[in-house]
Amino acid sequence: MKSVGVAILGLGVVGSGTYKIIRDHREFYRRTQGIDLTVESVLEINRQRALDLGIEESKISDNIAEVVSNPNVDIVVEVIGGVEPAKSFVLAALHSGKSVVTSNKELFCKYWYELEAAAKRTNAGLYYEASCVGGVPIIRTLIDGMQANIVTSLTGIINGTTNYILTRMSREGLGYKEVLKDAQKLGYAEKNPTADVEGFDAAYKLSILSSLAFHKRVPLENVYREGITGISQQDIEYGRELGYVLKLLAIGKNDGGNSVEVRVHPAFIRKDHPLASVNDSFNAVYLQGDSVGDIMLYGRGAGDMPTGSAIVSDVIYAATHSDVKYAAFKNTEHADKNTKFVSDFKSRYYIRLTVQDRVGILAKVAGIFSKYNISISDFLQKAEGVENIPIILITHMTSELSVRRAVEKIAALEDVLAVNSVIRVEG
């Protein structure tokens, strides 16, 4: 039976979960995979944390050179997160000829060329299933399961923190700040939530997923990004009245030509869309292929065991497919895919205005929309005050540029007190 030794860099939440899965499933993997999988080394400055997990003193180190030079280590698992020192540690492992499994989406999407080159130089494997959507096997699906298809679109809820916040705002009628504070207490949101609530985390993942889906590198800087900090309870409620649910979506579209559209932002989707029922901290990715049609993968996008599951899956694959090297994007051309400017995006739009109750104001607004060839599909007027009236409109499909120009003109009207919200409508 083949013996496979693993080193784990970092014993935080995910690293500890990974260790437990390997430890508790050793006999199962011996029986089903034909490998004896063991943890031979851990890199951890908190030695007591490692000891509490039952790891032998001799296998605990705070020296990366010692870990990657260990002859009993075949595969290195990086679960430190961030760019440094994770990048240096991963490169050290690859330079030594060890295959690497990582959950680090930021590192991977920013430095995949460098990581891939290092892996190729020593014929080491580089695996990254856990970098996107936790325990949901989206990477392997795109690389293997969808290879018979031209993927035309990818739409995902791929950040659990924001989905939890928006779910509670919708379900309980609470404001953003109130839910965020509660999410931080419960551990669903970081003390500094910027990476999640401003869409950076989802953008890292979308950069990777869209590159795989469309077979062209989509750099992080080409991913349009908006967060959820400006979302109000009013918009969620008005959207519900019109039959919509608000989500932070990661969207990739392949127009069949030489360009793709990649964006992360809040968007309304119809209540009957499959993604509308993805709530709390759960994640999902909805794919459209030219042959298979529509498919959706759903599950937990974070946590010790879900992410650990994806990591160990890659470890097993690396151990049992040593002749196949998924060195970064094995089926992705090294040519930056042309990405559309935000002004070229096409969508439907939810627009909320506050206007004075004056004769002719609706005609003026409609006239401006008409000037920019924007037609209205839904309309809602809320007579909440004598003078100031909220008006909600949803457009038919139109360009971002047309909407921005129209909104600028509408905002300048004397009787328009505010353009409160402009939110895209998808699906």
Supply 329's token pair.
């994007």
**Angle of CA points 379, 383, 384, to nearest 5°:** 125
Chain position carrying tokens 């457009």: 395
R_g over Cα of the chain: 24
Chain position carrying tokens 């129209």: 406
Catalogue the active-site residues: 205
331 close to 211: Cβ distance less than 8 angstroms = no
Supply 236's token pair.
């969620």
Q: How far is CA 224 from the centre of its chain?
A: 13
- Binding positions: 9-16, 105, 190
Q: How far apart are CA 115 and CA 127, in angstroms?
A: 11
Chain position carrying tokens 């990004």: 225
Q: How far apart are CA 204 and CA 106, in angstroms?
A: 6
Q: How far apart are CA 368 and CA 372, in angstroms?
A: 7
Q: How far apart are CA 138 and CA 287, in angstroms?
A: 10
- Binding positions for NADPH: 105
In the chain the first and final C-alpha atoms are separated, in Å, by 50
